[in-house]
Chains A and B, each alone.
Chain A
């Protein structure tokens, strides 16, 4: 199946600082999804990107899909303690099954 590399694995930021996580693939992706998992919780769907160069925003979160559809990023502006958790990207296989990246664990220091 398709593989995605996600970096960084861990990120510690001071509250108010920005945060970015990246997903990279060696092959062209049909789409990419982003999920957030709070500590002790389950993954929650955030967004899906489909088009080359697509940019979507959800309040302080900005999601981008690369022009070649081989990479994607999630950027959080002015982090808050509520942003704590692990952020995963995920890509669809031929039967729409998802393969997840390894995740970026975000810690926000007050």
Chain B
């Protein structure tokens, strides 16, 4: 099925561990973004990409790295997990935001850092 696929759906990490959240889309979308969602905080932009090889920081980039080697994939790396990174992470993609197309979101990764 076409869409944005995020893996894993759930993850528990210990403080200091690293991991990569995977995001893949098969819609040939150029624009991709990572958000975190905390209760009462809405969606906050972590990193975004406007095409393969191009990434930039969002509102809350500290503690996270991204790369975009292909159009399809946009992984998010947690370098050294902290309890403050406990959150729900959403990946989203869009053909061309600013036209009639909005962002398509993945189903999310629920991360707990203990």
Contact = CB atoms under 8 A, between A and B. Distances in A.
Interface of A: 1, 9, 30-31, 33, 35, 41-48, 88, 92, 95-103
Contacts of B106: 42
Most buried by A among B43, B90, B105: B43
Interface of B: 31, 33, 35, 40-45, 48, 50, 56, 58-59, 90, 92, 94, 96-108
A42 B108 contact: yes
B102 A96 contact: no
19 contacts: A31-B98, A42-B105, A43-B43, A43-B105, A44-B105, A45-B101, A45-B102, A45-B103, A45-B104, A48-B99, A48-B100, A48-B101, A88-B43, A96-B50, A96-B97, A96-B98, A98-B33, A98-B97, A102-B40
A92 B97 contact: yes
A33 B102 contact: yes
Most buried by B among A9, A46, A48, A101: A48
